[in-house]
Each structure stands twice: as structure tokens, then as C-alpha cells.
Structure 1
């Protein structure tokens, strides 16, 4: 057996005799399992409720009586966002972005009923999910287990004995890193087993699960290696503990919370009132599509008359008001889309600013990567908004076309079309967001984690050289 393996095995034996370490490790593993199964049950309950609500909303829409199509445009529809399969592992921004959208004509509504607004303020500290435990609590455990790994050899004066027996500094550091690296992976094993089990059922993609396991393995190894190396660079265990706790507080507590505030101050988002005022001003410029005689639509009326080869609106084979509604919806949709794109661009700039500093705080990298793979990041939410808006536009325009094409055949002061047409309106079908479709979104976080591990390996060589100098 090589010296590296002997040192690793000796480290495991020493940790096995550490009762407090065993209890803390057992509690953390139990917490991961409890968080995993609780999150799975909670996800299943929420998904069941949303499916039931969506079915109820669709049935209510189908059951509407004979009506004017434009009344159905304003009656609208509700959409409930489905939960991504791996969102049980990392809830990401799902609790803050809203999960219900009301679709209607002439407006692009935002998602409402965010869970954080309806729950205790404790939710803002982070949900108890496997990702939260691995990102925040697991590093503390690894620090606690490894902060004295090399420093205690110095304090007890056993380091020189090891070096005198022919064990080099590199072998010593490598053995300690191997021992604590294996412990780090063992700590993450319950979470990895949950992910693999979820993939085995077909609920999640194997490639996505594989990348997530690799990412969290790198994250845990990073803290195990850092703890051993810092322990090798200082003289006393308590100094190593102080440095590692400071590193944990800065990279996991301080920077991830301070950087978003800085980004928000540098690139402020428009408030809801400011957005509504700007939209109202832009909408006034295109006129009122509810009024066929609105002066803003004079050019449109002339274009329609030329297209159909008639001289008056009354001679049109379709209802002119319906055509105005179609054109008005096209114009208002473009205005809302432009505003939404500007807002989304600012949010992306804020996120990009924060992600740039993941070099200093690897938690930002693992959090970004985890949310992306779990389908619970801002991009996944934006994808739902884009799909729902595309559906809303087609839904409204379909009803507007019914108004233009069907009402001339009915006539009367209060024309209504058959309720059977409501059942012909398509229902929303969400296409699941593929987190691996755009590789650039996961490349940078993976590079950051890999870069930290590479830097720690270089630092480990430096620490080994210093230890080797003790023997001379």
C-alpha cells in the first residue's frame, strides 16, 4: 500500500474515533435525505394542485355560453406554470417569480402569486432543499472535519516523525486530500442517489443529472481540499479554523448577498408604476382599437378597403371592427414585447455582473449551475413567459378572427357565435425547458469550479514544498 493510501486510511480511522464529527456527519446526511423526500412530496402536491386548477379553468372556459368573441377575449384564460422535474432538488427562483398568469387581450400580464409573498418571511432565508444544504451547510461540516488534518501534526510534533520516516510533503498532502475528498463525496452520496433515482424513473434527463452530480462533487471537493491546504499552511489548528470560517463567511454569506445589491444600484430596474406609465403613453400613440373610427386607424382602413377592392366599410365581406381588433392586438403586443425585452435585458445585465464575481465566490457558480440544470433559474422562468405570451397572442387573434369572419353572417344588434367554437380554441401546452440546449450557460460556472480546484492543486504543491522544508 502506498504512503498516500496509508495516510488517507489513517485519517479515516482518526475521524471514525471523532464522535462529534460522526454525529455531525450523520445529522447532515439525514438532513439531506429529509430535505430530498420532503421536497419531492411538496413538488408532487403542488404539481397535482396546478394540474387540477388548470383543468378546472379549461373546463370553465369551454362551458361559456354563446357570446360575442371579443367578450371571450376579455374573459381570458389562466395558465399555471409546470414545475421542472429537478426543481425539487433546487427550487431556485421559483418561489419568487410567480406561478400563475392571466391571459387577456391588449395586455401582457406578469406572473402572480409568488410563494414568497404568501409565506412566512423565513422562506427568504432559503428553502430546505438538498441544494441549499450542499451549498451552505456541507462546507461547514467539511471545514470542521479537516481544519486540523495537518496542523495537528505540527502541534503534536508528529510531522517531523512522519517526514523522518521517508514520507514526503507531497505524499502527506495528497493522502490528507484523498482522505477528506472521499469523505466529501460520501457526504454528497445521499443527494447523488436521489438524483440518480429520479433519472432512473425517466423523470429527468441522464445528461442533466450527470452534469449536476459532477458539479456538486467539484463543489464538495473544493472545500475538502481547501480545508486540508489551509491546515497545512498554518501552524495551529485554531488558526486554520479561523481562516476557513472567514473564507466561508465571505464566499457563502457576504458576497452572494452584497453583489446583487451592487448590481441593482448600478443598473436599476424600472418600477412597476414607471413601466405602466411608459406603456400607457405608448399605447395612446397607436389609438383605441375598440373604436373602428379612431383617427389613428384611418390609414389602416384605407389599406383594408384597397385590399378587398371596396369603397366603404359596409361593403366588406368581413367585420371591420374585427380587423381593427386584429391590428390593434398586433400593435399592443409589440409594445408590450419591447418593454418586456428591455426589462429582461436589464435583469440579464444584473445577473451577468454578479456571475462575473463567481471567480471570488464559487457559491455563485454552483448556485447558477444548479438552478440552470434544475430548470429553476431566471432563464427557465423567462422561457415560460415567452411561451405563454406566444400562446396568448395566438389565443386572442383566433378569437379576433372569429369576430371578423363569423359575425357578418349572424348580424343583429347583439351578435353572438356558438359556444361550440370555444372548445376549438387550443389549450396551452408547455414545452419543457432544456437546460443543456445552450451550453454557454453552464460553461462558465463549470470553468470557475474547475479553476478553483486547479488553483487549490497548485497551492497544495506549494504547501507540500513548505512541509518538505521542515525535514531539512
Structure 2
């Protein structure tokens, strides 16, 4: 162990002498701190704005004057997506999905006001978050720090001296890996502190933050071990550098983008225009409550009259138009939910395709782990959209029920009497409250990315073991040769 620590200390000393490496490491740490600070401020401002806007629209809805209930159906309501406590660490897909949905009758709207729609195209390169720094930039810095750890020793001749002095290949490898893992820990520390700060006071968030730190530690450990293995197997430092840069470009840049393109080609999404046309076609087929001669509502009218035992709509104890609104909303909402579920299933299939590529590119695994634990992934977004739609349906049907029970059908039809109901009815409708996913359910979705990282750790450890055997093999061949000093060799030839 003492030999390993000596080798690690020597490697650290060499890294500290390299001004470029020291400056790069310092810049990356500063960048992580800046990313954490800006992400925290952005998250805090977004949460404050959404809470303020939600309170404003709730107050405005409740303060509407006496109106006909159907006017309130079209007046609608806004709901805003709340942020998870750890969303400042990784924004995930949130910049592209929107933050607010307008809820109204007869329609199912999509979320609006995503950052990507209000910012320049540079946002698509990734927001500056601690997750982006650790997942993309930290491995690149480790490459520059460690590409020559063993190859440089070989090129300078010191590796042969170590071997001939009886130092085993495993000890050399262990010392180099320990040194690079120390550098990786230094790069991870600011992000871990930022996670702890974001999760402060929330036990579930603290648990998720701990798993996030462990996942990113495994990610950087894979790179540290792989870098030392490649540096051991390459004859020259520049060969190791070129090989490692190629691996970084492939694993971190190309494969994730190729995976997204492959997923889109394998499971293409329908365009908004195609979906609207399909919904309009199906709406015409299931029944139109605004058409007096519509077959479905003709039968519905007959069923209502039979149910209440009357022959005329005017004799019903309820407002028939309210009943028609309830039935029409039921039909259209069922149709909207079916198309929304189909779209989400296609997106989930695309995500599954990309996740399958994580076995080739662990970048995808650590990203999936990060978005899952910060609840900025597709599953969390879908949960918000579906809860918002369920609230919209309850809201609209509550107003339709008020029309059926509290507005006189004859007065409404002839316009001969009051058709407005008191403002207190709007206050009786509950506000939207988002229910977050249970912590154990979130943790259950981290199994696959954690397994991928564990497999890659084993593969990296196996590569290190192979590199150590290579060094031991060279040590055996070196011990089998007799070393003759240059001066004695010269005397023997004269």
C-alpha cells in the first residue's frame, strides 16, 4: 500500500506541476460553482413566479362576477407546473416542454412558455447546469489530466526502472488510478455541495441527492479507470490522448445524438397538424352536441326524456342543455385522452430506444439517472399533464353540472329570465394541486441506469486488470534480460 501511495503522490505532484492542467481544473470547479449558483437562482425565480401566477389566476377565477356557467367554461383556468427541489441541478427536458397549460372546455391544450421557445438556438447545446458540467466537461478534463500517466512514464524510461525495482503492474496501475480518482473527487465536490444545498431540509430530496452523487461518482470513476487503462496500453502519450479524445467524442457527443435520431426514425411522432386532423375526423364521427340532428345526441335526448318520464324538454327537472354539455365533454375528453396517451406512448418508446443505447454509451445512463431523480424527465412531465387534464375535466363538468341544476332551461332558451348564477359558485371549485410522484416510485425507475453504470465499472476494472497484466508481462521479460552498462559494453569492444 505504501508503494501505491507513493506512486499516487508522484502523479499528483506531476499534475500540480502542469500549469495547463491546474488552470483547467480550477476553471472547471469555478464553472461548476457558477452553474450551481445560476441554476439555483433560475430555479428560485421560476418557482416564485409560478407560485405567484398560480395564486393570481386562482384569485381572478374566484373573483369573476355572476355569470352563466358556460361562460366560465370558456373563460378557463391556467395551471403551472411546480419544480422539484433538485431541478436546479439538472433541467432535463423542462426547457422544451413548457411550464403552463390553459384549461378550457372542449379542448385539451399543450403546455406553453418553454425556455427553448423563448431563447436563442444556443439553448439546444445544453443549459449551464452542474449536471451538464459533470456529465460532459469533467470527463474531458480527466482525459487531459490522465492521458499520459503511464504512457509518459514509458516514454521517459521511468516505467522500466519501476518494473526492474520490483514494483508490480498492479501497484503502478493502482497508484495512477488513485491519483486520477482524487482529481475526479475534487471535480465532483462542488456539484455534491450544490445538491446538498438544494435538498436541505427535505429528507426525500436528500436521499435522491445521495444517489445522484453516487451515480456521478461512478461515472467519473469509469472515466478515471478507462483513462489509465488506455494510457497503459498505448506506447506514446499522444496516441493515448488521440484515442481518449475519440472515445469522449463518440460516447459523450455522437452516440447520444445518433441515439435520438435513431429513436425518431424508429418511432416517428405525428405532427400537430396530423393530430388535429385525426381528432376533427373522430369528433365528427362520435357526435356533435351543436347539431340538432346528430344521431348520438338524438338518442341521448330520447334516453333523457325516458329516464325522467316526461315528453318535453321543458318538463325536465334539470336544464337539458347542461346535460348535453356534460355528455359532449365526456365524449370529447375520452377522445383527447386517447390521442394524448398515444403520443406519450410513442415518446416513451423513443426514450426506451435511447435508454437501450446506454449499454454502449454510459453518458445516456447517467443522464437518465439525473433527470429521473430531479424529476425533469418525460415521466414526470406526463404526470403533470395528465393531472392537469383530470383537473380540467372536473372543472368543466362542475360548471356544466351547475348549468344543469341552477339555470332554468326555459329562461335560458327564451332569454326571458335570469340565467346567471352567483359568484360564490366559482369559489366552491377546488384549486389545482399537483401531486408529485412517490419517492419509492422515483427510486424504482433508477434501476436500469444504475445497473448500466455498475456494468461499466466492472468493465473498466477488467480493463485495468488486463493493463496490469501487460505491465507484469513486460516486467518478466525485462528481468530475463541482463542489463550491461554502456561504459562496460564499450570497454569490451575495444
State the TM-score, normalized to the length of structure 2.
0.92
Pairing 1:206-285 to 2, within 5 Å after superposition: 206-285=206-285
Q: Give the stretch that moved more between structures: 429-438 or 364-373.
A: 429-438
2:449 aligned with 1:449, yes or no?
no
Structure 1 equivalent of residue 433 of structure 2: 429
> Equivalent residue of 1:78, what SS?
strand
Q: State the alpha-carbon separation in 2 of the partners of residues 457 and 266 from structure 1.
A: 34
For residues 350-373 of structure 1, what are the alpha-carbon distances to aligned partners after superposition, in whole Å with 9 as ceiling and x for unaligned?
111111111111111111111111
Q: Give the stretch that moved more between structures: 170-179 or 432-441.
A: 432-441
1:438 is displaced (CA, Å) by: 4.7
1:204 is displaced (CA, Å) by: 5.8
Structure 1 equivalent of residue 180 of structure 2: 180
Equivalent residue pairs, number:
472
8 Å CA contact 2:319, 2:409 repeated in 1: no
1:440 is displaced (CA, Å) by: 4.6
Q: Give the stretch that moved more between structures: 201-210 or 110-119.
A: 201-210
8 Å CA contact 2:102, 2:109 repeated in 1: yes
1:28 is displaced (CA, Å) by: 0.5
1:61 is displaced (CA, Å) by: 1.3
> Equivalent residue of 1:356, what SS?
helix
Structure 1 equivalent of residue 491 of structure 2: none
Q: State the alpha-carbon separation in 2 of the partners of residues 52 and 410 from structure 1.
A: 42
- Kindly tell me: are residues 261 and 169 of structure 1, through their superposed partners in 2, closer, same or farther at Cα, counting changes over 3 Å? same
Superposition misfits of 4+ residues, deviation over 4 angstroms: none
Q: Which consecutive residues of structure 1, in runs of 5 or more, have no partner in the other structure?
A: none
Q: Give the stretch that moved more between structures: 303-312 or 96-105.
A: 303-312
Structure 2 equivalent of residue 145 of structure 1: 145
Q: State the alpha-carbon separation in 1 of the partners of residues 159 and 35 from structure 2.
A: 41
1:42 is displaced (CA, Å) by: 1.1
8 Å CA contact 2:320, 2:409 repeated in 1: no
2:84 aligned with 1:84, yes or no?
yes
Structure 2 equivalent of residue 408 of structure 1: 408
Structure 1 equivalent of residue 165 of structure 2: 165
> Equivalent residue of 1:317, what SS?
coil
Partner of residue 424 from structure 2, selected from 420, 423, 440: 420
Structure 2 equivalent of residue 333 of structure 1: 333
Pairing 1:304-315 to 2, within 5 Å after superposition: 304-315=304-315
8 Å CA contact 1:208, 1:436 repeated in 2: no
> Equivalent residue of 1:355, what SS?
helix
Q: State the alpha-carbon separation in 2 of the partners of residues 195 and 268 from structure 1.
A: 36
Q: State the alpha-carbon separation in 2 of the partners of residues 221 and 370 from structure 1.
A: 17
> Equivalent residue of 2:199, what SS?
helix
> Equivalent residue of 2:48, what SS?
helix
Structure 2 equivalent of residue 464 of structure 1: 468
State the TM-score, normalized to the length of structure 1.
0.97
8 Å CA contact 1:36, 1:89 repeated in 2: yes
